[in-house]
Chain A
Amino acid sequence: MISATTIRVVLPAHLKTLARVSGEVRLEIAGEPTPRAVLDALEARYPVLRGTVRDQVTQQRRPFIRFFACEQDLSHEPPDTPLPQAVVLGAEPFLVIGAIAGG
């Protein structure tokens, strides 16, 4: 039996506003911590974020959003790929990065 894991998630500014959070979000993941599990937990806690990170129908990452952790780009990894150990242990956050255009 896998115990719950707390994953730190950093959201882009506009999604923090939408979800009404400041700083990092901490999510409890019951099973294997993967990008899909993190996003499922994120959307369950903040339903307003449904459709903003992943397409509501296809569940694909939206093309103006990227996922990173431990300096590595996880955007093109299969969504069920286990997260890096440093993220699982809470030493590093799972980064959701979005396109911004201000100048």
Chain B
Amino acid sequence: MPEIEIPVSLPELTNEEILRYSRHLLLPEVALDGQKRIKAARVLCVGTGGLGSPLALYLAAAGVGTLGVVDFDVVDHTNLQRQIIHTTADVGRSKVASAAEKINAVNPNVNVRTFEAKLTSANALELFREFDIIADGTDNFATRYLVNDACVLTGKPNVYASIFRFEGQASVFATEQGPCYRCLYPEPPPPGAVPSCAEGGVLGVLPGLLGIIQATEVLKLILGAGEPLIGRLLLVDALDMRFREVKLRKTPECPVCGENRTIRELIDYEQFCGVRGEEKPATTTTMAEIEPEELKRRLDAGENVFILDVREPHEYQICNLHGHLIPLGDLPQRVGELDRETEIVVHCKLGGRSAKAVELLRTQGFRNVKNLTGGIMRWAEKVDPTMPRY
């Protein structure tokens, strides 16, 4: 169990707090001293999205004394299906302001510290030093590695979870006793290899499950109770409702926590993970791209442009450009449906899958292939505002 530095003289609880936390005080594993430890604890929630929402709400309800929330984003409609700390009325508001308001509503005793900024190599170490435990609820690989390395360098436990579709992973990293995130995954997938939730979707309740596992681990670390998820990776499959646990070991040659570590300061994580962030469309300098406005102009002019849609059929049902549908996974077997002499514009939702399709078609001898910049969502934004977005 990692040592969480809690002040020697613990804060007293008011009568209101004793009443509020009475169900905790009845647990011998928590009791009065444990609740005081919770009150003295400082926890930083990185991200106030799907994971951060239940995490922050439960930690607030449990009485964590200082709760930091860091996020640069604003609430949008697509968040509301799972990010339960934000409401419909919050759309357009800063996520940290929205989260702080709800945390205070749940428990006004919590000192909420808001950081409306992107977590970067320039601010992470200083920020992490002000907290006892870091909970990683971010949504992209670059920030995952940044959080991990900053936790290792500052000696803070990293209470980790991530989600995709119906599956989740959780662990506690960056402690002296166990492996770190880099021990598990030394390198991120190449940009676009693993879709983001924005591309692949996620069951709305899944971050609820995983975020609450994170909150549980945070409280256990504060209390020094039970067996933390250190050296264990919890695998959650919500579709089959199966929880599997696998053992993890420290990697001796880990560049950040290994015996001969080479990473002694934070690096450029955008570069490390590729230019593309998980939630952003792919852009490459070498790939032929066409902007939605240009495609619209050429289609209106009656030019012979073949539109290839490489999304899934259920996405096609939501909105489409009347293109020929061949999901990316089927493309290698179905290239015979395409004419090498016709100009092809490939699109997906945001531009990531279509970029892979363009590369694949190039290797198959298609010379006149372009990627629709920003996918059909950019089309909806720039050309057809009536088109449903998802």
Chain B residues near A68 (CB-CB < 8 A)? 246
Given known contacts A17-B200, A48-B329, A97 and B138 CB-to-CB distance under 8 angstroms: no
Contact A100 to B163, CB < 8 A, known contacts A63-B187, A66-B184, A95-B244: yes
Once A14-B164, A71-B245 are accepted as A-B contacts, the answer to whether A99 and B189 lie under 8 Å apart by CB is yes
Q: For chains A and B in complex, what number of residue pairs have CB atoms within 8 angstroms?
A: 106
Q: In the complex, which range does the number of interface residues on chain A fall in?
A: 20 to 34
A77–B186 CA distance with the chains assembled, in angstroms:
16
CB B171 to nearest CB in A, in angstroms, measures 12
Q: A13-B164, A73-B246, A97-B246 are in contact. Are A63 and B195 (CB under 8 A)?
A: no
Q: Does A18 contact B (CB under 8 A)?
A: yes
Provide the main secondary structure of the chain A interface: mixed
Q: Which residues does chain B contribute within 8 Å of A99, judged by CB atoms?
A: 141, 162, 184-185, 188-189, 194
* Total number of B residues with any Cβ neighbor in A under 8 Å: 50
**A-side contacts of B235, CB under 8 Å:** 95, 97
Identify which of residues 225-274 in chain B touch chain A, using a CB-to-CB cut-off of 8 Å. Answer: 233, 235, 240, 244-249
B137 contacts chain A at the CB level, 8 A cutoff: yes
Nearest chain A CB to B186 CB, angstrom units: 5
For A101, give its contact among B139, B184, B312 (CB under 8 Å).
B139
Residue from A19, A71, A99, A101 having most chain B Cβ neighbours under 10 A: A101
- Chain B residues in the interface with A (C-beta under 8 A): 47, 49-52, 136-141, 144, 161-169, 184-189, 193-197, 200, 202, 207, 233, 235, 240, 244-249, 278, 312, 328-330, 332
Chain A to chain B contacts (Cβ below 8 Å), 15 pairs: A48-B329, A63-B186, A72-B246, A73-B247, A73-B248, A98-B189, A99-B141, A99-B185, A100-B164, A100-B168, A101-B138, A101-B194, A102-B278, A103-B136, A103-B137
Interface residues of A (CB under 8 A from B): 12-14, 17-20, 23, 47-48, 52, 62-64, 66, 68, 71-73, 95, 97-103
